[in-house]
Structure 1
Amino acid sequence: MYQTITSPVNYGGIRLKNRIIFAPTSMGVPTEEWLARLQRIAKGGCAMIILGDVPVLPHGFGPSLYSKKGFALYKQAAELVHGEGCLLCAQLHQSDSDFKALVKYLPGFLCKKITADELRAKLNDGAGPLVTNMSRKKIRKITEAFGEAAVLAQKAGFDMIQVHGDRMCGSFSSTLFNHRTDEYGGSAENRARFAVEAVRAVRSRLPEMPIDYKLAVRQTHPAYGRAGVAEEELPVFVPLLEQAGVTSFHVTLADHCNLSDTIPPASHPEFHEEGCFLKFCDQVRALTRCPVCGVGGLTDPDFVEAQLAAGRIDCAAMSRQLIADPDWPNKVAAGQAGTIRRCVRCNRECLGGMMAHRGVHCIYEHKEERKS
């Protein structure tokens, strides 16, 4: 019944056992719980896990590939995931947050005169001046670091590299943030340069490594997302990224807006439907022969099978659904789709847990706790 979901696929040079990918997710839980969560999701049957926000520079948020401890942690994660028959992809990223500029707002935040959402908005707004005023020397240091980090990721056991097209790549891509007047600003070709150089750095160091690109799309009518690539500029960006070495595209809505837009609840005014971001995949599909992975409120096996079978997407990425029920892929393969705990996209314990600094969880966990 779900022949396409369960069929293997060549995803940009890597063979996946089925079409289900765990989307990059900031878990916000202690290390041991994080490792156990990754192993549990892998055991549930998905073909690959994308490990989000792996820093490209030695100093950054999250474990560092450059440190002995950080490298060992990533290696352990790869071994655990591989042990369950699942592949692992490293999402390499560089933050575009200017924390030095944020210091002046901390007293107000600590005194609760500024909310966490307001602080996050100011952090996002600071990305514009940061990328606009960055020196060419600093730019080249960062783009080259994508290649260095990719080599370390491969040594740690990662099977694929994903270049995070939001964050700094996205801010350089966006006219809303990038106001440079040199070769990194102005035209769409120039604003694509940072991302293109990051991809080339990976490709030059690892000629055979599959490179996925998280293509963050900025919707213009109505406006959603601020960083990333505007819909009308996709015909410029997609071919340039492919020429640089990208072998597949993971397509989603651009960030630097409300988190409830990029992680939309079922009540969202624009993105309430199943597969809410697949319309961006349609635009990308028309511009490339590279495999395309779709994401956005995917929960229903019948819907996912239909999109895959029609060739609209090559793979389906899920985060909240595989947190709600890691066994989604195994249940589909076993003909037990009716027993899946479907994500209802309430955002109470996933996005809500992250915002409350208690980690990403699910309402189903609390139901199970009450039963026990």
Structure 2
Amino acid sequence: MYETILSPVNYGGLQLKNRIIFAPTTFGLPDEEYLAEVRRLAEGGCAMLIIGDVPVGKSKFEKSLFDAKGFAFYQQIVEIAHKADCKVCAQLHQSDSNMMAMLKYIPAVLAKKLTPDQLREKLNAEVEPYITKMPKRKIEAILAGFGKAAVLAKQAGFDMVQVHGDRMCGSFSSSIFNHRTDEYGGSAENRARFAVEAVKAVHAAVPEFPIDYKLAVRQEDPHYGNAGVLVEELPVFVPLLEQAGVTSFHVTLANHSALENTIPPASHPAFGQPGCFLKFCDAVRQYTRLPLCGVGGLNDPDFVEQQLASGRIQCAAMSRQLLADPEWVNKLQKGQAKTIHRCVRCNKKCLGGLMAHQGTRCIYDARREEK
């Protein structure tokens, strides 16, 4: 019944056993719990896990490929996934948060005078001067890091890398944040330069490796997202990224507004419907024939099958739905679609848990633990 979902696909040079991908997700869990979640997701039948926010340099805040402990942790993730016949993609990213600016807000956060949303607003306000004033030597060092990280990701066993097109790539791309007057600012071609050079660095370092690109699209009228690329700028950005070495696009809404926009609940005024970001895939499709991965409110197998069978997208990415029921794919294979725990997009324990520093979880967790 779900022939397309369950059929293999060549996704940008990587053969996947089916069309379902676990979308990059921040978990905020202790290592043991996180690895257990990786195991559940991989054994649940999805074709690939995208491991979010793998830094392109040494980091005090995240697991890094550039130190022995972090490298070994990523190797564990890969080993767990591969045992379940699940591919793994490393999402290479560089934060666009000004860490020095962040330090001045820590006392207010610790004293609970700043909520997580208020902190986010203040950090977003720091992005424009940080990107606009960044010295070229720092830009060059970060870009070189993308290539070095790709080499390490391959050595750790990852099957693919994804260049995170939000974060720093997205902020350089955005006319809202990027007010530079050199070759990295101004025109759409110039604002695309940082992302294009990041992809080129990866491609030069691991020439035959598949490169996914998280393409963050900014929407106007009504306005959502502040980083990323306007729909009108896609004719510039998409061909340049493809020429640089991108082999597939993971298309979504741009970040740097409220998290409820990029992780929209069912009650969201603009993105409450299933497949809420697929319209951005339609826009990207006009400028490339590369495989597209869609995301956003994809919880109904019948709806997902329709989008895949029509060729609108080649893969479907999910986070909240696979957290609600990691066995989503296995249940389809067994003819048990009616037993799937459907994500209701309430955001209570996933986004809510993360924002409360309790980790990304799900309202169905208690039911799962009872079994």
Q: TM-score range by the shorter chain?
A: over 0.9
SS state at 2:251 partner: strand
The letter for the 2-side match of 1:225 is G
The whole-number CA distance in structure 2 between the counterparts of 1:368 and 1:71 is: 31
Q: TM-score, normalised by structure 2?
A: 0.98
Tell me the CA shift for residue 60 of structure 1: 4.8
Tell me the CA shift for residue 28 of structure 1: 0.7
The whole-number CA distance in structure 1 between the counterparts of 2:102 and 2:157 is: 36
Task: Please show how residues 292-371 of structure 1 align to structure 2 within 5 Å.
Answer: 292-368=292-368
Tell me the CA shift for residue 344 of structure 1: 0.3
**In structure 2, what is the equivalent of residue 145 of structure 1?**
145
Segments of 5+ residues of structure 2 without an aligned counterpart are none
SS state at 1:163 partner: strand
**In structure 2, what is the equivalent of residue 55 of structure 1?**
55
Tell me the CA shift for residue 296 of structure 1: 0.2
**In structure 1, what is the equivalent of residue 172 of structure 2?**
172
Verify the 8 A CA contact 1:295 1:316 in the aligned structure 2: yes
**In structure 2, what is the equivalent of residue 188 of structure 1?**
188
SS state at 2:250 partner: strand
CA RMSD of aligned residues (A): 1.1
Verify the 8 A CA contact 1:55 1:61 in the aligned structure 2: no
The whole-number CA distance in structure 2 between the counterparts of 1:146 and 1:349 is: 33
SS state at 2:119 partner: helix
Tell me the CA shift for residue 236 of structure 1: 0.5
**In structure 2, what is the equivalent of residue 121 of structure 1?**
121
Q: Does 1:249 align with 2:249?
A: yes
The whole-number CA distance in structure 2 between the counterparts of 1:104 and 1:149 is: 30
Larger displacement relative to structure 2 (59-68 or 43-52): 59-68
Task: Please show how residues 1-372 of structure 1 align to structure 2 within 5 Å.
Answer: 1-368=1-368
Q: TM-score, normalised by structure 1?
A: 0.98
The whole-number CA distance in structure 2 between the counterparts of 1:57 and 1:208 is: 22
Change (3 A) 1:16 1:334: same
SS state at 1:10 partner: strand
The letter for the 2-side match of 1:348 is K
The whole-number CA distance in structure 2 between the counterparts of 1:256 and 1:304 is: 27
The whole-number CA distance in structure 2 between the counterparts of 1:105 and 1:86 is: 40
Tell me the CA shift for residue 125 of structure 1: 1.5
The whole-number CA distance in structure 1 between the counterparts of 2:23 and 2:368 is: 24
The whole-number CA distance in structure 2 between the counterparts of 1:202 and 1:342 is: 37
The whole-number CA distance in structure 1 between the counterparts of 2:313 and 2:276 is: 13
Verify the 8 A CA contact 1:99 1:123 in the aligned structure 2: no
Larger displacement relative to structure 2 (208-217 or 55-64): 55-64
The whole-number CA distance in structure 1 between the counterparts of 2:26 and 2:105 is: 24
The whole-number CA distance in structure 1 between the counterparts of 2:242 and 2:35 is: 33
The whole-number CA distance in structure 1 between the counterparts of 2:348 and 2:109 is: 23
The whole-number CA distance in structure 2 between the counterparts of 1:60 and 1:157 is: 23
The whole-number CA distance in structure 1 between the counterparts of 2:309 and 2:112 is: 51
The whole-number CA distance in structure 1 between the counterparts of 2:33 and 2:113 is: 34
The whole-number CA distance in structure 2 between the counterparts of 1:178 and 1:125 is: 12
Segments of 5+ residues of structure 1 without an aligned counterpart are none
Tell me the CA shift for residue 114 of structure 1: 2.5
Tell me the CA shift for residue 368 of structure 1: 4.6
The whole-number CA distance in structure 1 between the counterparts of 2:61 and 2:127 is: 16
Tell me the CA shift for residue 352 of structure 1: 0.4
Can you list the C-alpha shifts for 1:74-122, whole angstroms capped at 9, x where unaligned? 1111011000000000000000101211333333333333222111111
SS state at 2:364 partner: helix
Tell me the CA shift for residue 336 of structure 1: 1.0
Stretches (4+) displaced over 6 A: none
The whole-number CA distance in structure 1 between the counterparts of 2:114 and 2:3 is: 51
Tell me the CA shift for residue 165 of structure 1: 0.2
